[in-house]
Chain A
């Protein structure tokens, strides 16, 4: 079962819960898909050392073949190509989406593509189970592409259970993670910010017909009720983790609260049981 751990709001504790789920069950594949700001490795205590670059195509004109017609600049939907009436067109690589259109509109085959690095996939092991981390090159806009490449790398292994740490938000990067998942765990801080943001992700999960469950985190600080949310999306609260200063301080040191708080150990075991009950 591939389980995505998402939240909508950043800082809800997604990565802490994801890391705890990995540490609590041997043999689970861990995948960090928060490629813009990957942190799962810190909490798993694993710095994955094997690195493989990931690329995307970017266009460039082959000078000897270019007939200076300007069709590429006209066809580019992103304004990534400029042509000034004569000579070679100019491609701005940071705007180029690698869509493949300009090579097919070019009448002479001058417009080609080369591979540009967008980030890397780092891999390692946690307790003998594989761990993959997608890490976007700062300045690149190809978040979704890197997420998909990382997922593909894991799929080559066909390991049974996966925990996928998703990015914050509810847009395309999160969709890309949910698409590959069998079920989603939404980590919610029962605050107005937390509730507002998780609803967006629940909408996406519902549209994709992915089963979802809620984990309430940092409870005990004047909580809003999750009942309406659960009713609206037909989901259950599968676990509740209380806020404790000691858990926060452990997290600050880069230690997963699963390793330092007894409550986290039994709550996570209970969460796994709830996941198996609800989603199998």
Chain B
């Protein structure tokens, strides 16, 4: 049986996705598997403290490799490359693997046939054991490409383990934004928890991630974190939910106690208290009606 997969995203960064995902992991009853899909800036491990059991290199797309000894510096490859990955330096073509998207075009246009493809490690995928269940996490090599692919691989592995071990719940901490890695973390998910905060920027970003969820047919619900930083804006968000028919899951207040706990590496279940429990209950109950 497939697990129920809940992905936590936000649009805007810094709204509290990771903190809340860690709280859900702590609160959930029954077996669960966690995944940190923010492979660019993975932070869930700072709260869940996984004890590593497995580590794998992630290769992504092969990159182009120029045999400098046969390169004549004609520049055909540089002219062809649409991704700005090739530059001529000292009369030789040089490929920047961080920008090479592995299309293979330069191999085809090189008159000397001196370009080939090579494997290039773009990150590391890990599995670990936490107090709440196993966790899959990864880190993309800084400056690199293929974050969408790494996210897809990570979700696949986490899901595979959940299916094999009959674990009913998969909790995914998603990345910020609406681009490739976010799309990769949302496609096929059962439910998305959208964590926003009561600011104009966060609301603007929220609308964009809602558009994405709708495009990908992923049902979603909204959480307002640090709601008391602007009661006015929080009410505005609730009104928008009513008008647009968006599911409102709950609100969590701001507290310095919570921030301090997180900074000390502690999951702030106690510090947040009842609003968190009510939120989790809403996710479990209302989330299923969609």
Contacts and interface: CB of A to CB of B under 8 A. Distances in A.
Touch between chains A and B, by CB atoms below 8 Å: yes
Contacts of B199: 251-254
A37 B41 contact: no
Given A99-B101, A254-B200, A175 B143 contact: yes
A191 B140 contact: no
B99 to A, nearest CB: 7
Nearest to B46: A192
B262 interface: yes
A196 B46 contact: yes
Contacts of B145: 171-172
> What interface size band does chain B fall in?
35 or more
A77 interface: yes
B82 to A, nearest CB: 6
A12 interface: yes
Interface string A237-280: 00000000100110111100000000000000000000000000
Nearest to B14: A11
Interface string B100-128: 01111100110000000000000000000
A19 B265 CA distance: 31
A248 B229 contact: yes
Interface residues of A, number: 60
Contact of A172 (B18, B99, B175, B264): B99
B103 A37 contact: no
Contact of A11 (B13, B143, B147, B264): B13
B230 A252 contact: yes
Contacts of A170: 40-41, 140, 142-143
Contacts of B99: 144, 172, 175
A229 interface: no
B82 A207 contact: no
Nearest to A12: B14
Given A136-B178, A172-B143, 14 more contacts: A9-B13, A37-B201, A39-B205, A42-B204, A99-B103, A101-B105, A139-B211, A144-B83, A170-B40, A171-B40, A171-B147, A196-B46, A208-B143, A252-B197
Interface of A: 8-12, 15, 36-37, 39, 42-43, 57, 75, 77-78, 97-101, 104-105, 136, 138-141, 143-144, 148, 167-175, 191-193, 196-197, 200-201, 203-204, 207-208, 221-222, 224, 245, 248-249, 251-254
Interface of B: 11-15, 18, 40-41, 43, 46, 61, 80, 82-84, 98-99, 101-105, 108-109, 140, 142-145, 147-148, 175-180, 182-183, 197-201, 204-205, 208, 211-212, 215, 229-230, 233, 256, 259-260, 262-265
